[in-house]
Amino acid sequence: MKMKRAFTTIIRKTIILPTILLLTACSVESNSQEVVDEFISQFDEMNLDEAKEFLKKEYEGYQQLEALFNGGSFFGDETPKEYAKEDESYSEFPTFAKPEDIEKEYKEFSANAYIIQEYKYPKTTIRVRVDEIEIEVSGNTDYQANKIFFHDGSVDDKIQKFDSWGDLNTTKVIDSIQTTISYSYAEDYKQYEFTDEVNFNGGSIKVAKKQGNMAELIFTGKAKDYEKIIALNDEGKVLEFSSSSSGTKGAKEMSKVYAKAFKKLVNEANNFKTVDKLKKAVRKAYSKLPSINDNEKSYTGFFKGNVSSFIVYMPTNTISKQIDFTLVNKNPNIQKLIYAFDTNKEENCFLNQAGELVMYPNNENFYPENDLYYYTETKNDEDDEDEDPVREIYFLDTDKEQLVKIPEIQSVRTVTNTCVSVEKDGKKALWNAEGKAVTPYIYDWIERVEGSEDIIHVFIDNECGLINTKGETVLPVIYNQISDYTNGRALVNISVERGEKLVMFIDEAGKQAIPLTQYLKATEFSEGLAVVTDKNRKYGFIDVNGKIVLPLIYDDAIPFSHGITLVEYNGKYGLINREGTFIVPATSYGYSMTGMYKRKYHLDRNVYNEYGEIIEEKEY
């Protein structure tokens, strides 16, 4: 998903980007009072030492920017060169998503999105994510938290803006966020082809430099909102892209001025006796800095061939939309103590459920295995790459608020958020959320079952079973295969003399939910339905209660996706919906299918998308 373009230069190397630059990038007026206020407000939650450290990081960010500009390392070792014609590489002219496809993608995105919380202090970081959904939309996206519901039952209804991977002003465990996503996209694009300069309503693009495979362009006015730039060779072929950098013109000079100002603040930091005095000094210093010239932007690109001319695609008739939905924290840490990162001190730490600092591990080589088990790694000679590090295992006692060393074990492997697998004499046991072994060392392998918080896979030889997090047997180790959970059901097969035999679907407690003795085959559930095959080798669909929803009348069938699926009926293939109605008649004698989540069905030389809509028609 495409986010708003920042004015700061896109850099391949990781650097500390100054906060004031990032804030300015998002503002309408580059050196506005609002930007200054927002920057300085970050000191409100800091003590004096934390505020000084934050100021130091700002200065370090400008130092790194200066070094990158001076060293020309945006492109690594890439420099302008001439290509022989036979060495040039080409790509296709770009295509853009249709407005109706963009609408559909955003609706699907909002229906499937969730957050992962990364615990930091004094602000938490969240990532907005989706599983298996390919978002291929253009446009600008903004997120707004309208209400944040915390695990302790409290609610924050102060509106906060955030990015798809950004910070929220809290340190507590989040359960969910009532969210508004605002997005915009172009209904169409107009293309402008030029060699040296092109002018159009409200903007212009000028070629500042062109040498072999490299070109530098300057954008002014509305031209800064371009969607895509492509370079052509002298035959009009699209040259394959190699690398690029874009940013505010004059950013190099601006970074020097800002670095000098913040260096002075850092050197004078010890003179400040309170945070308020430091804030006044920052405001005074910033008021004297020159405004960032956002009138012109530059673009430098390297291509796999000799550049002759360009095409720029400009969006026309921008559409703006909003969707309200809820983002759920998919994997919240609900322990009494939470492992986090103090961004001010750049140290790992532990917070309590109120988001307050409790303690530091005081070991820089300290790592989490899961929410309750941790380890350290040390070497006698840090420079010896062949030396194996010595590992020590710790259990987090959340009641006593301390880390307890477990000397009898040297390695653990995560099974759940609170349980681990521990090996001894070649066999494995499960250790629980209290730092104790709850099974004997009898298993060859222990692993989590996806879709369940309490059920765990265990294996002995070539057979498997299930236990819970207390170490109690749920299913004995006699089965050939037990699937992960989908739609609250897991499929169980057992070994027989001539292969596998279906046994049952089990529920989330590990108890039989659907007996399968009357079927030859079954698939895992997808969208609440599973494919089953009877002894006459006819296919149909059952729901999570075992009820036949679509009769066993098909010669073949695959699981549902996006409310449709492919079936074979009377020797021919077509697409049906959940009611069993053919949305594409069964007239094709063959088929092919590409993609997993975003399927494409090829039937009778026509191509249908994941919703059964025709996207390529056959030609007679």
pLDDT tens, position by position, 554-605: 999 999 999 999 999 999 999 999 999 999 999 999 999 988 778 999 999 8
pLDDT at 7: 28
Map residue 39 onto helix, strand or coil. Answer: helix
pLDDT number for residue 27:
45
Give the residues across from 591 on adjacent strands. Answer: 603
C-alpha to C-alpha distance for 478 and 497, rounded to whole angstroms: 14
The H or E element spanning position 107 is: helix 99-112
User: Rounded distance, CA 324 to CA 182, Å?
Assistant: 9
Structural domains of the chain, count: 1
Q: What is the pLDDT of residue 253?
A: 65
Residue 142 sits in which domain range? 1-329
Each residue of 102-119: pLDDT tens digit?
A: 888 888 889 989 999 999
Residue 420 tokens read as 């681990």
pTM: 0.71
Task: Say if residue 30's pLDDT is above 50.
Answer: no
Residue 65 has pLDDT above 50, yes or no: yes
Between CA 593 and CA 564 the distance in angstroms is: 13
Which of 32-41, 83-92, 541-550 is least confident?
32-41
Q: What number is the average pLDDT over the span 172-189? A: 92
**Beta pairing class for 606-608 and 614-616:** antiparallel
Would you say residue 462 has pLDDT above 60?
Answer: yes
Burial of 340 (C-beta count, 10 Å sphere; 0-12/13-18/19+):
buried
> Whole-angstrom Cα distance, residue 60 to residue 57?
5
Structure tokens at 611: 């919703």
| Least-confidence region, from 13-27, 214-228, 270-284, 364-378 | 13-27
Using alpha carbons, select from 114, 157, 112 the residue that is nearest to residue 332: 114
Which amino acid type is present at position 277?
Answer: K
Provide the mean pLDDT of the chain: 85
In a domain? residue 570 = no
- Write phi, then psi, for 225 (nearest 5 degrees): -95, 25
Q: Dihedral of CA 38/44/46/47: which sign?
A: positive
Say which range, 8-12, 43-47, 56-60, 572-576, has the weakest mean pLDDT: 8-12
- Chain position carrying tokens 């000098």: 260
Nearest to 239 by CA among 85, 11, 80, 9: 85
Instruction: Determine the Cα–Cα distance for residues 360 and 19; give it in Å rounded to an integer.
Output: 26
φ/ψ region of 362 (left if φ > 0, alpha if ψ in -120 to 50, else beta) reads: left
In a domain, residue 269? The reply is yes
Residue 287 maps to a domain: yes
Percentage above 70 pLDDT, the chain: 86
- Residue 35 inside a domain? The answer is yes
Place of tokens 């130092």: 63
Whether residue 140 lies inside any domain: the answer is yes
In a domain, 534, yes or no: no
Structural domain contains residue 285: yes
- Are 204 and 288 within 8 A, CB to CB? no
User: Is 431 within 8 Å of 440 (Cβ atoms)?
Assistant: no
| Residue 602 domain flag | no
Tell me the sheet residues that pair with 178. Answer: 147, 326
Cα–Cα distances in Å, from 197 out to 203, 230, 234, 310, 349? 11, 15, 17, 10, 55
